[in-house]
Amino acid sequence: MKINCDGLSLSEATLKVIKAAGSKTVNPVLEGIKLTAKNDELILFATDKELSIEKRIKAVVMEDGEAVVYGRVFCEFVKSLTNEEIELSVNENNVLKIKYSENEAEFNCFDVEDYPKQKEIEEENVIQLKGKALKNLIQKTTFCAALDDARPILKGCLFEKEKGLVRAVCLDGYRMGIAEEKAGEEGKDCKIIVPVKSLNEILKFIEEEDVDVFMVIEKNYMMINFGTATIITTLLTGEYINYRQILPAQTETKVTVKKDLFERALERANLLSRADKNNYVNFEIEEKNITVLAKSELGTVTECIPMAMDGKDLEIKFNVRFVYDAIKAIDSDYVDISLNGSINPCIIEANDIKNSLYLILPVRKFN
Amino acid sequence: MKINCDGLSLSEATLKVIKAAGSKTVNPVLEGIKLTAKNDELILFATDKELSIEKRIKAVVMEDGEAVVYGRVFCEFVKSLTNEEIELSVNENNVLKIKYSENEAEFNCFDVEDYPKQKEIEEENVIQLKGKALKNLIQKTTFCAALDDARPILKGCLFEKEKGLVRAVCLDGYRMGIAEEKAGEEGKDCKIIVPVKSLNEILKFIEEEDVDVFMVIEKNYMMINFGTATIITTLLTGEYINYRQILPAQTETKVTVKKDLFERALERANLLSRADKNNYVNFEIEEKNITVLAKSELGTVTECIPMAMDGKDLEIKFNVRFVYDAIKAIDSDYVDISLNGSINPCIIEANDIKNSLYLILPVRKFN
């Protein structure tokens, strides 16, 4: 391999693909970035076997070739060469040489044969949506996914395409987030479960909100192409929780409250309740106010927030963090909270456009 | 105690004094902030017994009084009240009540009697300098101080006032940084050793560069007054290393090099040499170039930097981080490096204004 390329493009591309490289893996070659020179392009590729990212940049290719370089140091190194014209070459000892100005660096490489091949995806189905829609689906749900490995499927996000809509669902056993967006015309109805970790990387590639994004599906894989970058992620297999069954059929108490007032009160309640891991907040819903009360060894905070209410008075306790996250994720001046007594879950959603919804289980323990 | 004050002033003051509060101390009361209301002021005070910070803000005092509140949570709490008018009061159970809008929070307080008193400083001597001068002395030397506790005195910075100059010196046994600034007229010649940790906090209080700063000294304490804020630090006792003795008397090789080229080369050398804790860089000084060479398991980097030279050719190895830190701290287009063979320390300083100097020991190990 022997090529010339621009330092800035190389640095930007390296920073993008490094996100898919493994760190501290049992198999060190997965900490590498694979470089492939052919057809006037340098292709950078990294994978941890769950997620893979490929990015192509323009290059003057004098000799085709491949190399797998240790990712993190290479990435930091080229970051300091953004103003340089760079020559990359690989010698017979599998050493990558970087020339810039009068200087040069050499990187010992992994054996290319040991590096996993890029999976080829055969399109079996596709979910089409706008960049902005995919962004919303990810941002409004993934914080509700499980973080621990107790039930691996809950570390994924269900994408369900049905009747012209795409619905994203995440839940961790204590709370659930659902968001909905219009689907494009291509592809048939389907359900897939995408690892949240992959979605958080995909999010960073959505630069244009109005562009069409195609989630190309083949059995246990999903691919998205963003111009010169291609992302492939494995899908989680198994049956997702039947989330519809969890949604309550009735509402005894319905509250409408100003989002910013409620959010700031929860922020302060969170500070105090967090202080001694006693992480809950009490809501007293009565007449014209919600009284937010949080207590810990350190002290108490009591805030009275005006609201509009329909139905029965109620006292109920929640994990303050879960309510705060939900309120924060809603883009609306007012939020609606639907409740059914003190031991059933509540539903939180925007007062106007109902394209996302949060369900939160109350805390039953009293103190 | 009962006062009214503005949320923004309270929040800003709390953020300043919290830096002196202890964290995870054996004595939890030191994690507190002491509030004192008197004479139309609220005085906030925190100390970890080494450093103390006091800050005064305007308040409408309806009733004098004191309270010691747990610092970190109080600080975060008032940060969310910057738009509010606040009422603070302490009841007979030593609970601090914060009222804002229609809401209130209560903080359980420490016993005021358990909190250390603010030390009163009787001026025995003073070092007078401009804000900018003190800033320079701190920024140009403290990174050379020791980080570990092997020799506690090396965690301090020597301030030496002599012949109208103030000299700051830090060293860790492998490198030394010296900076010099003009002293104001007040006070007599002296030597004090100030903990670097305290200097780094003092640095944040120097807002105006042209203002006169007075380091007021009483035996083992030093006080600086910045308008409504007062900082007191303990001084380190004991004899500081005789740094003059370490400075080499002669120069066999003198090199002048462009700072930015050298700095960037060292940055890259650091990346590669850091990669396997083999933290050194080789300089080959010959004819018109310094050849910078760093090596590790991952690879090598070789950069050739043009220079002007006087004296003998030389090959020498240094800890790359130490050279990089020194070069980075120098504000000048060109730097001078003075050397004496491959086993004696080098001196690095600006090519123009010689108000700071770095001495670095070479690495003797070869590989």
Residue B265 to residue A103, Cβ atoms within 8 A: yes
pLDDT digits (tens, 9 = 90+) for B35-69: 999 999 999 999 999 999 999 999 999 999 999 99
pLDDT at A273: 86
Copy the structure tokens of residue B15. Answer: 């953020």
Contact of B77 with chain A, judged by CB distance below 8 Å, is answered with: yes
pLDDT band of A367, cuts 50, 70, 90: very low
Q: Which residues of chain A neighbour B267 with C-beta distances below 8 Å?
A: 80
Contact of B73 with chain A, judged by CB distance below 8 Å, is answered with: yes
- Is the pLDDT assigned to residue B366 strictly greater than 70? no
pLDDT at B367: 47
Q: To which residue do tokens 């003795």 refer?
A: B245
Q: Which residues of chain B neighbour A297 with C-beta distances below 8 Å?
A: 108
- Is the pLDDT assigned to residue A120 strictly greater than 50? yes
pLDDT digits (tens, 9 = 90+) for A201-226: 999 999 989 999 999 999 999 999 99
pLDDT at A25: 76
The neighbour count for residue A2, using CB atoms within 10 Å, is: 16
The neighbour count for residue A225, using CB atoms within 10 Å, is: 16
State percent of chain B over pLDDT 70. 99
Copy the structure tokens of residue B120. Answer: 């009163």
Nearest-CA distance B296 → chain A (Å): 9
pLDDT digits (tens, 9 = 90+) for A309-331: 999 999 999 999 999 999 999 99
Which of B77, B271, B304 lies nearest to residue A77, judging by beta carbons? B271
Cross-strand pairs, A212: A130
Q: To which residue do tokens 């060479």 refer?
A: B293
- Is the pLDDT assigned to residue B106 strictly greater than 60? yes
For chain A, the average pLDDT equals 95
Q: Which residues of chain A neighbour B108 with C-beta distances below 8 Å?
A: 297-299
Residue A108 to residue B298, Cβ atoms within 8 A: yes
Contact of B303 with chain A, judged by CB distance below 8 Å, is answered with: yes
| Helix and strand totals (H; E) in chain B | 7, 25
- Is the pLDDT assigned to residue B82 strictly greater than 60? yes
Q: Which residues of chain B neighbour A301 with C-beta distances below 8 Å?
A: 77, 103-106
Tell me whether strands B60-63 and A41-47 are parallel, antiparallel or unpaired: unpaired
pLDDT band of B87, cuts 50, 70, 90: very high
pLDDT at A276: 67
- Is the pLDDT assigned to residue B357 strictly greater than 80? yes
State percent of chain B over pLDDT 90. 92
Contact of A54 with chain B, judged by CB distance below 8 Å, is answered with: no
pLDDT at A365: 61
A44: CB partners within 8 A, 6+ apart: A13, A14, A16, A17, A33, A34, A35, A54, A55, A56, A57
- Residue B359 has φ and ψ, to the nearest 5°, of -115, 130
d(CA B327, CA A7): 25
Nearest residue on chain B to A300, judged by CA atoms? B106
Question: Do the beta carbons of residue B358 and residue B347 sit within 8 Å?
Answer: yes
Q: Which residues of chain B neighbour A76 with C-beta distances below 8 Å?
A: 271
pLDDT band of A357, cuts 50, 70, 90: very high
- Is the pLDDT assigned to residue B25 strictly greater than 80? no
Task: Say whether the ipTM exceeds 0.90.
Answer: no
Contact of B260 with chain A, judged by CB distance below 8 Å, is answered with: no
Q: Which of A 103-132 lie inside 8 A of B, CB atoms? A: 103-108
| A to B CB pairs, distance under 8 Å | 78
What average pLDDT does the segment A245-258 reach? Answer: 95
Tell me whether strands B51-58 and A356-360 are parallel, antiparallel or unpaired: unpaired
A346: helix, strand or coil: strand
In which element (H, E) is residue B106 found? strand B103-110
Long-range contacts of A344-348 (CB under 8 A, 24+ apart): A344/A248, A345/A246, A345/A248, A346/A316, A346/A318, A347/A247, A347/A248, A347/A251, A348/A323
B362: CB partners within 8 A, 6+ apart: B316, B317, B318, B342, B343, B344, B345, B346
Which of B105, B275, B299 lies nearest to residue A106, judging by beta carbons? B299
DSSP B116-131: PPPPPPPPSEEEEEEH
Nearest 5°: CA angle at B127, between B122 and B128?
Answer: 115
Residue B271 to residue A73, Cβ atoms within 8 A: yes
Question: Do the beta carbons of residue A237 and residue A217 sit within 8 Å?
Answer: no
- Is the pLDDT assigned to residue B224 strictly greater than 60? yes
What average pLDDT does the segment B204-218 reach? Answer: 95
What average pLDDT does the segment A23-41 reach? Answer: 92
- Is the pLDDT assigned to residue B353 strictly greater than 80? yes
d(CA A49, CA A67): 18
pLDDT at B169: 98
pLDDT digits (tens, 9 = 90+) for A267-277: 999 998 877 67
